[in-house]
Each structure stands twice: as structure tokens, then as C-alpha cells.
Amino acid sequence: MSHFIKKALSDIRLNRFLNLVTIFTISLSILVVSVFMLFFENAGRVIEAWNQGGRAMVYLKDNFTKDMLLEIKEKINNVGNIQEMVFISKDEALDRLRKEVSPNSAFLKTLQGNPLPNAFEIKMKSYNNIEEVETFAKKIKEIEIVEDVEYGQGWLGKFLKIFNLFKITGYAMCGLFFLIALFITSNTVRLAFYSRKIEVEVMRLVGATETFIKAPFYMEGILQGFIGGILGLVILLVAYLMISSGITQGLSSYIYFDIRFLSIKTIILIILVSTFLGWFGCYLSLKQILK
């Protein structure tokens, strides 16, 4: 094994330029794939966070009286998919508003009476898609005393649509770059093979097995894939460290989460895929040459 690794490293050294181009191409492909993975992982966390703490506000009409409370609670409960339901009276809502807004604000000073409605804050158990949330909200809205249901329909719907669009684009781009990297790796092995044609011929003549002949090529492909994968991830990490703090600070008032780097699981997966890519490119090439 160590013989083949040494041989592969020496061959990489001998064909430095060709191997560097291949490693760089693989690393770029891995970089593109990793960028999408980074986006999916972080976007997934946002959705998961919303999913776990998904809240809907049910605003009640002005003619609500506290006598109706139990009856309405029961009606809302009957809709199902409710984990927690808290009644917030209009007085309580105003108290909350006063705590959140500066006491000297012009808005509070000019406020006469309490314009806020009575409401229920509902925490949903779970949902799978935006349509489910919409149906849920529609059913609650059908209750006579309910004025409106707010569940973040505007931004969530848009976010999910963009997320799905990115997902499709991401898959297509990943597939495309995978094919490009595969093509380049396969071509490098082919060129390496032709440049070592005499060597292969001599090896055969002196009684080398096919495994002995092919092993250094496979090792070279695997090393190219492995190094390319790590290089791609390092480039992503550097870019992430440079950009992420700025983004998190800039968006901190809009989003309540930090952008995290890829999980260890994803990093290992990417390196494995990249290594496989190197091996597979080599396999395709040798299969064609040695058939």
C-alpha cells in the first residue's frame, strides 16, 4: 500500500502542472457544491427553527368578552395541531408594547385608549409545507369571533419559494460541476496513462499484475479527489470567515440566527464524495483504455 502511495505521490510530482490543474478543478467543483450545502444547511436551520417555534397570532374582534374565552379556546383546539395556546388580553398586549417601545416615544404619548385587540398566541405542533399552515389559519379564521390570523405568511411563503428554487438550481449546478470534475479527472488519468505507456508495457513484460499496474493510477485519482476536496473546503472556510461576521451583524436585526459553517457530517460527506470522484474518474478512464 505504502509503495502505491509513494508511487502516486512521485507521479503527481513528475506531472505537477497537470495534477495541479486537476486538483484545482476538483476543488472549484467542491467549492460550488459546498456553497450550496452551506446555504441549504443554514436555510434548513431557519425553517427548522420556525417549524419548532412556529407561532400564529389569532386576533379577536372588538365584541369579544371574557365570558367567551373557554368557548373560543375549545373551538380553536378543535382545529388541531396546537401545542400551546396563550390568551393575551388587549391590556396585556399594551403592557408588552410599552416595554418594547421607548417610554418617551411620540407614538405612546399620542396614544389614546388601547387600540390593540385581544388575541391568542398559538404555537403549532409542526407543519410540512406552507399550504398546511394556510389551511390551519383558514380554519381558525372561520371561527366567528376571529378577526384575523397572522402567521408570517408573507415572508415565509417567499422564503420557501426562493429556497426551493435555490435547491433545484443547487442540484443542477452540483450535478454539472460533478460531471466537469469527473471529466477532468478522467482526462488527467488518460494523459498520465499515455505518458507512462512504456512504463505500463515494461511492467506487463516483467510480470506485474493488472492490480499492480492500475493501483498507482487509482491512488493518484483518490489523492487528487481528496486533496481537491480539502482545498475546496479550505477556500470556503476562508471565504466564510471573511464574510460571515459581516453578514450576521448586518442582518442581525432581521434574522435571529447566526450563519454557521458546514457540520462535521457534511464536511466528511463532501470529502468522501470528492475522493470518490477522483477514484471514479480514474475507473472510467482505465476501463476505457484497458478494455
Partner 1 sequence: MNQDIKKNSIIRLFNVSKRYNGKFALKDINLDIEQGEFIQISGPSGAGKSTLLKVLYLAEKVSEGQILIDGMNLARISSSRLPLLRRRFGMVFQDFKLIPNRTVYENVALVLEAAGEKSDYIRKKVMQVLRTTDMDKKAKALPLTLSGGEQQRVAVARALVGEPSIILADEPTGSLDTKSAQVVLDFIMEYHKKGATVLIATHNLHLLESTVRGKNIEITEGTIKRTATML
Taking the complex as a whole, the smallest distance from the CB of residue 215 to partner 1 amounts, in Å, to: 11
Q: How far apart are CA 106 and CA 114, in angstroms?
A: 15
Grid cell for residue 18: 497537470
Do 22 and 281 contact (CB within 8 A), yes or no? no
Question: Which residue number, 128 or 211, has a Cβ lying nearer to partner 1?
Answer: 211
Taking the complex as a whole, the smallest distance from the CB of residue 10 to partner 1 amounts, in Å, to: 9
Q: How far apart are CA 274 and CA 188, in angstroms?
A: 16
Question: Nearest Cα to 193, choosing from 211, 219, 217?
Answer: 217
Question: Which residue number, 204 or 260, has a Cβ lying nearer to partner 1?
Answer: 204
Taking the complex as a whole, the smallest distance from the CB of residue 165 to partner 1 amounts, in Å, to: 51
Question: Which residue number, 43 or 203, has a Cβ lying nearer to partner 1?
Answer: 203
Question: Nearest Cα to 285, choosing from 60, 22, 63?
Answer: 22
Question: Which residue number, 206 or 242, has a Cβ lying nearer to partner 1?
Answer: 206
> Which are the contacts of 232, defined by CB distance < 8 A and separation ≥ 6?
26, 27, 28, 29, 30, 31, 33, 34, 270, 274
Taking the complex as a whole, the smallest distance from the CB of residue 208 to partner 1 amounts, in Å, to: 4
Question: Which residue number, 87 or 212, has a Cβ lying nearer to partner 1?
Answer: 212
Taking the complex as a whole, the smallest distance from the CB of residue 168 to partner 1 amounts, in Å, to: 47
Grid cell for residue 109: 404619548
Taking the complex as a whole, the smallest distance from the CB of residue 17 to partner 1 amounts, in Å, to: 15
Question: Nearest Cα to 173, choosing from 269, 41, 37, 21?
Answer: 37
Question: Nearest Cα to 183, choosing from 13, 16, 26, 31?
Answer: 26
Question: Which residue number, 77 or 209, has a Cβ lying nearer to partner 1?
Answer: 209
Question: Which residue number, 35 or 219, has a Cβ lying nearer to partner 1?
Answer: 219
Taking the complex as a whole, the smallest distance from the CB of residue 282 to partner 1 amounts, in Å, to: 20
Backbone φ and ψ for 149, nearest 5 degrees, come out as -125, 125
Taking the complex as a whole, the smallest distance from the CB of residue 9 to partner 1 amounts, in Å, to: 14
Beta-bridged to residue 84, according to DSSP, are 123
- Dihedral of alpha carbons 154, 159, 160, 164, sign: positive
3-state secondary structure of 159: helix
3-state secondary structure of 129: coil
Grid cell for residue 205: 513484460
Contact positions vs partner 1 (CB under 8 A): 3, 14, 198-199, 201-210, 212
Question: Which residue number, 179 or 202, has a Cβ lying nearer to partner 1?
Answer: 202
- Residue 234, CA atoms < 13 Å, CB-side half-sphere: 9
